[in-house]
Amino acid sequence: MAGKIDKLSYEEALEELKQIVARLNEGKVTLDESLQLYKRGNELAAYCDKKLREVTQKISQVNKATGGEDPLNIEDSDV
Amino acid sequence: MVEFKSVSQLDNYIKSYLTGSEYLSDFSVTGEISQYTVSSRGHAYFTIKDPDSVMPCVMFSRYLAYTSFTPTIGMKITVTGCMDFYAPGGKLQMQVLTMKEAGKGDLHEQYKQLFERLSKEGLFAPEHKKPLPVLPRRIGVVTSASGRVISDIVNTLRKRNPYFDLLLYPASVQGENCPPEITAGVRYFNEKKNVDVIIVARGGGSYEDLFGFNDESIARAVYECGIPVISAIGHEPDYTIIDYVADLRAATPTAAAEQVMASYDDQKNMVDNLALSLDIAVNQYLTAKRNVLDMFANHKALHTPAFYAQQQLLVVDKLKTAMNTAMEAKVTRLKSEQETVMGRLESLNPTNVLKRGYSYVSGADGKAVESAASLKKGDVIGIVFADGAATGTITDTSFDDRRSS
């Protein structure tokens, strides 16, 4: 099994999770392995989920004069 | 003072005056069609206007027959002909001989030439197109800071989910500043590399309004951009050069925002489904093992396998206990996120095993200790109880021959 989960990219974690599900479905693992796989799989799923939520909503615009970014206020409306 | 003998004489004089005029007997003028009707005899009666003035026009059927397009209200046209005075109506009008769409000929020719040149050079090649990011964490938008487009995009994103970060590069989307500013916006993101995807957007408008996006510098900036670019210029039927160079062309700015979020939604569903598949897979695995073991265990005649089965049943129970720990961590996470899958998880949770007095022994490697034979004096082990854990050191081992078979 690969190393520390928080070193993985979202894509890598997702790929490993897919492989774990596939191996468990195949059923050719020992009991002990199945436990390890299950633990690892759960950690990977939680990590992917966290990655999906780690972006906080922010709306800004480029300030061409300063080169910085200014907050941009856009009112909620029905699209 | 001139004294006309009759109204007819006055009208006739106006007619001959117009015919003799250098400027009014042969000229062209451009305006927008504001009314348009074709009479039963096939003559077109219409008016052209600019913001301040209106001119009634007539185009007889024999001339109208040579017009290659269907004039419609709002269309900008250039007409040639002469001024005429319609005596029965006492009305000054323009007699139109030819009519063409204003400017369109030239612009369309420019567009075609640019399209062919860039196409030959390979700027529209499908193999050059980049896929959209799997997870668009930050979205760059190049469009006008005022107007509906940016608020449509933001509100579409908000409606889909709250996890996005958007950076707007304000740019003119019309007129002579449009091409340089749009180009600068695309280049800005490409240099800063501070977004995962770029949307270049503009709301609907006339052919001329959108024409700024038929620009070579924009096309090249998009082509050279290392970040995927989605173009969303005007409405569904409008195509400009940028749409052919972009990695993806969206029908509208709203559609572009949805495309970006579609990828996010796909990922969210995939992770949720995989987490569920994992639970199902491990449960099926354990159920299958248990069924086989139960079969052996119930078969009293087969003593040796029965021992083996009993031993394995303990292992399964230990395993389920350890799974419980993993499950509980997961349940805690899901609880905190108010997920509804709670009920399902608890239904498959093999609790109470530890509470019945079993405990679980793990070796230095964290794995379940399945056999006394694998331990020796001095080994450090972990013992997991229902209410906690303990660490111990092996002081002695004894070995049961019967059970090892």
- B287 domain residue, yes or no: no
Given a cut of 70, is residue B310 above it in pLDDT?
A: no
Does any domain span residue A78? Answer: no
Predicted confidence at residue B307, as pLDDT, reads 60
What pLDDT, on a 0 to 100 scale, did the predictor assign at position B336?
56
Task: Tell me which range, B80-94, B149-163, B253-267, B352-366, is most confidently predicted by mean pLDDT.
Answer: B80-94
Q: Does B160 touch chain A (CB under 8 A)?
A: no
Residue B240 confidence class, pLDDT cut points 50, 70, 90: very high
Q: What integer pLDDT is reported at residue B232 of this predicted model?
A: 96
- For B147, left (φ over 0), alpha (ψ -120 to 50), or beta? left
The residue among B264, B287, B313 that closes a domain is B264
Question: Is the same domain home to B114 and B159?
Answer: yes
Q: What is the pLDDT of residue B160?
A: 80
Output the CA angle A61-A66-A67, nearest 5 degrees.
Answer: 60
Chain B nearest-CA distance from A48, in A, is 7
Residue B238 has pLDDT above 90, yes or no: no
Please report the pLDDT score of residue B55 as a whole number: 95
Tell me, yes or no, whether B208 lies in a domain: yes
Q: Which of B83-97, B242-256, B347-361, B377-391 has the lowest mean pLDDT?
A: B347-361
What mean pLDDT do residues B3-20 have?
A: 92
Q: B143 and B251: one domain? A: yes
Q: Measured between CB atoms, which of A27, A34, A76 is closest to B155?
A: A76
Residues 11-40 of chain A whose Cβ lies under 8 A from any Cβ of chain B: 11, 14, 17-18, 20-21, 24-25, 27, 29, 31-32, 34-39
Rounded to an integer, the average pLDDT of B224-249 is 94
Mutate which of A9, A60, A74 to test chain B, going by most B C-beta atoms within 10 A? A74
Q: Return the pLDDT at B133.
A: 87
Domain assignment present for residue A79? The answer is: no
Residue B335 confidence (pLDDT): 58
Residue A27 forms part of a structural domain? yes
In a domain, A65, yes or no: yes
Per-residue pLDDT for B382 more than 80? yes
**Domains: count for chain A:** 1
A61 in B contact zone (CB under 8 Å): yes
CB contact (8 A) between residue B156 and residue A18: no
Q: Which residue of B has its CA nearest to A40?
A: B326
| Residue-level pLDDT at B342 | 43
Asked if residue A1 has pLDDT above 90, the reply is no
Number of domains in chain B: 3
- Among A11, A15, A21, A36, pick the best mutation site for testing chain B contact (most B Cβ within 10 A): A21
- Contact criterion met (CB < 8 Å) for B163 and A52: yes
Residues of B in contact with A41 (CB under 8 A): 274-275, 278, 282
Sorted by sequence, the CB contacts under 8 Å of residue B80 that are 6+ apart come out as B26, B27, B28, B96, B97, B98, B99
DSSP single-letter state for residue B139:
E
Judge: A55–B165 Cβ closer than 8 Å, yes or no: yes
Do the domain assignments include residue B75? yes
B282-308 residue pLDDT tens = 888 888 877 777 776 666 555 565 566
**Percentage with pLDDT > 90 across chain B:** 46
CB distance B323–A35 less than 8 Å?
Answer: yes
User: Which of A25, A53, A78, A58 is closest to B338 using CA atoms?
Assistant: A53
Please answer whether residues B374 and B363 qualify as being in contact, where contact means their C-beta atoms are separated by less than 8 angstroms: yes
Q: How far apart are CA B384 and CA B319, in angstroms?
A: 12
Of B264, B289, B314, at which residue does a domain stop? B264
Q: Is the pLDDT of residue A77 over 80?
A: no
Q: Lowest mean pLDDT of A26-35, B16-25, B73-82, name the range.
A: A26-35
Residue B373 sits in which domain range?
299-404
Q: Which residue has the higher pLDDT, B108 or B276?
A: B276
For residue B173, being part of any structural domain is answered with yes
B131 shares its domain with B80: no
Distance CA A26, CA B287 (A): 14
Give the range among A13-22, B83-92, B312-321 with minimum mean pLDDT: B312-321
pLDDT tier for residue B331 given thresholds of 50, 70 and 90: low
Q: Is residue B288 part of a domain?
A: no
Would the CB atoms of A42 and B329 count as touching at under 8 Å? yes
Query: In the prediction, which pLDDT does A27 show?
Result: 77
Mean pLDDT of chain B: 84
Q: Are residues B89 and B138 in the same domain?
A: no
Q: What is the DSSP string of B35-76?
A: EEEE-TTS-EEEEEE-SS-EEEEEE-HHHHTT--S---TT-E
B209-240 burial string, b = 16+ CB within 10 Å, else e?
A: bbbbbbbeebbbbbbebebbbbbbbbeeebbb
Task: Kindly state the average pLDDT of the residues B381-392.
Answer: 82
Selected residue with higher pLDDT from B333 and B404: B333
Helix (H, G, I), strand (E, B) or coil at B144: coil
| List of chain B residues whose C-beta atoms are within 8 Å of the C-beta of residue A51 | 135
Q: Cβ A72–B145 below 8 Å, yes or no?
A: yes
pLDDT higher than threshold 70 for residue A22: yes
Do B195 and B113 have their domain in common? yes
Q: What is the CATH classification number for the domain harbouring B209?
A: 3.40.50.2300
Cα B339 to Cα B268: distance, rounded to the nearest angstrom: 14
User: Between B389 and A60, where is the model more confident?
Assistant: A60
Residue B293 lies in a domain: no
pLDDT band at B350 (very low <50, low <70, confident <90, very high): very low
Residue B40 included in any domain: yes
Question: A48 at the B interface (CB within 8 A)?
Answer: yes
Residues 229-268 of B with CB under 8 A from A: 254, 264, 267-268
Between residues B38 and B314, which one has the greater pLDDT? B38
pLDDT band (50, 70, 90) for residue B166: very high
Task: Confirm whether A75 is domain-assigned.
Answer: no
Give the model confidence (pLDDT) of B332-341 as tens digits. Answer: 665 555 444 4
User: Do B243 and B96 belong together in one domain?
Assistant: no
Q: Do B251 and B181 fall within a single domain?
A: yes
Shared domain for B39 and B172, answered yes or no, is no
Asked, for residue A77, whether it belongs to a domain, the answer is no
Burial string for B37-64 (b: 16+ CB within 10 Å, else e) reads eeeeeeebebbbeeeeeebebbbeeebb
- Three-class secondary structure assignment of B341-395: CHHHHHHCCCCCCHHHCCCEEECCCCCECCCHHHCCCCCEEEEEECCEEEEEECC
Q: Is A24–B285 a contact, with Cβ atoms under 8 angstroms apart?
A: yes
Q: Could you tell me the residue range of the domain that residue A66 belongs to? A: 5-70
Answer yes or no: do B337 and B397 share one domain.
Answer: yes
Which chain B positions have a beta carbon within 8 Å of A20's beta carbon? 278
Q: What is the mean pLDDT of residues B97-105?
A: 78
A79:B159 CB<8 A: yes
User: Per the domain annotation, does B1 fall within a domain?
Assistant: no
| In a shared domain, residues B177 and B45 | no
User: How many angstroms separate the CA of residue A78 from the nearest CA in chain B?
Assistant: 7
CA–CA distance, B171 with B143 (Å, rounded to integer): 5
Query: Of residues B349 and A27, which shows the higher confidence score?
Result: A27
Assess if residue A64 is contained within a domain: yes
Size of interface A-B (CB pairs under 8 A): 134
Per-residue pLDDT band for B161 (boundaries 50, 70, 90) equals confident
Residue A14 and residue B271 in contact, taking contact as beta carbons nearer than 8 Å = yes
- B115 and chain A: CB distance < 8 Å anywhere? no
Domain end point (choices B77, B102, B127): B102
Helix/strand/coil percent split, chain A, to 5: 55, 10, 35
Q: What is the mean pLDDT of residues B206-231?
A: 94
Distance in angstroms (rounded) separating the CA atoms of residues A54 and A47:
10
pLDDT at position B357 over 50: yes
